[in-house]
Chains A and B, each alone.
Chain A
Amino acid sequence: MPQSSLTVRWARGVAAAALVSGAVLFGTAMPASANVNFNGTCEASEACVFDWDYFEGPRWDYEGTDTNFSNNYYPDTTKYGAGPPLNDSAEGLHNFGLSCTAVFGQNAGGASASGWKVRHLPGKGDGLPADRENRVSSLYWEC
């Protein structure tokens, strides 16, 4: 795993502190596994989740796998300001991975995959159908 355990601990520490202090209002991000460049800008090797619409609004740019988006927030950026919660706010998805498919969905990360999922190829993505907007709860890579 390219991320250091120090980084993971840092991310968890920040998240825990944010929760305790109410700093979640400021959009602290807490992915399950920290990534090296969680900066709100989509880049190669990342999967992107869009808050407002496909390629619109805050971007959750993530290199890792996160199978439960609870308590995750879009990165706080100057452009879009404080990041809203990810788990109830997503309308578009895109895979900027270089090789693997990115599997987004609802409950798709758990074994009980009774929710929906969509597999996007590298370089591909889409807006979410109306009844699946704001219901994205997981991302994993399938290689």
Chain B
Amino acid sequence: MKRLVTTAMVIGVLAIAGCSGGGSASPAATRNPGGVPTSPVSPPAVTASPTVSSLNNASLPLDRYTTTADEYAELNYASKLMTAECMKRFGITYNPGKRLKLLDYRDRTNDLGLIDEAHAARFGYHMDPARYSKHDTNSNPGLTTAQSYILFGERLGKSDREGVPEDGCMGEGYRKVGWSTEDDVWLQELGNDAKSRAFADKRAVALMADWSTCMRKSGYRYDNVDDVNNDQRWWKDEDAPAGRAEKNTALADVRCKKKLNYLGTMTSILVAYQQQIVEANLERLESVRAATQQALKNAAAVLGGR
């Protein structure tokens, strides 16, 4: 079964990424970041770069293992209901609030750099304010310090109440659903690691040089896509909407990327590194996937149609 899964994934990657060639990763790309147990890698093969209209439509190797936004919201909401049950034992009413909307989680359009021309024209490099919240949504106003201890556990201090669970009632909520939040972070770090390796790959570095040349022809001097995003002129007052200079720069940036098939090339490289990471961690990944599927069943039972 494992071999079948691996073969299927390799075929999928080859279909997207081509099947020969190979650049070399920079030293940074071969470093193993703490907490992400991947094997040392040689640069994966990438030649063909398909045209990718949006990263949302691309199938990435780690997608099989990461929870979708809907699954995440269900696991989270079920955990909160369990947290509320726990708090009730201590005589505290905890309002689980509503399901998370996770608008940012759902959309990875710009995950490899600004791609969306409409966004560039409207927001420049700033996030669409509709996609995030300025603050945590406090559905439990007036929580006292003592009650916070019970909710969060010893991370916030000592409680004089007996029987506070490890990591408080929130910790119990996640455990009751069987959702390993540590595994969730591990999966995110695998994705981060693949991305970091992809951007350090010499093919990405060459692409970035072409992008920089294109931008220069448009009148903008930046070495790479991070530099333009981090131009301090955009962030003097980050609450202020993007100005004309920022929007024009962002539009030139997006158009250069289109001209160079930036998204197609970067997606191919990312897919190849993700595939390499999947193969290096297949056993744990499959185990995490099975645990998540079980947690989803547990969550469905807790939610009972709610």
Binding site for B on A (CB under 8 A): 1-2, 32-33, 42-47, 55, 63-68, 70, 94, 96-103, 107, 109-124, 126-132, 140-143
Contacts and interface: CB of A to CB of B under 8 A. Distances in A.
Contacts, number: 194
A70 B185 CA distance: 26
Nearest to B250: A111
Nearest to B76: A121
Interface string B221-250: 000011011101011001100000000001
A118 B110 CA distance: 16
Interface residues of B, number: 75
A114 B184 CA distance: 20
Contacts of A46: 136
3 tightest CB-CB pairs across the interface, nearest first?
A123-B170, A112-B229, A97-B136
Contact of B195 (A1, A64, A116, A128): A116
8 contacts: A2-B135, A44-B148, A65-B135, A96-B152, A113-B110, A124-B181, A126-B182, A143-B133
Given A70-B235, A124-B170, 11 more contacts: A44-B148, A68-B230, A99-B97, A109-B238, A110-B229, A111-B128, A114-B112, A114-B113, A117-B192, A129-B33, A131-B31
B43 interface: no
B109 to A, nearest CB: 9
A114 B168 CA distance: 35
A129 B123 CA distance: 31
A131 B33 contact: yes
Contacts of B170: 122-124
A111 B139 contact: no
Nearest to B129: A65
Given A2-B135, A112-B125, A118 B151 contact: no
B24 interface: no
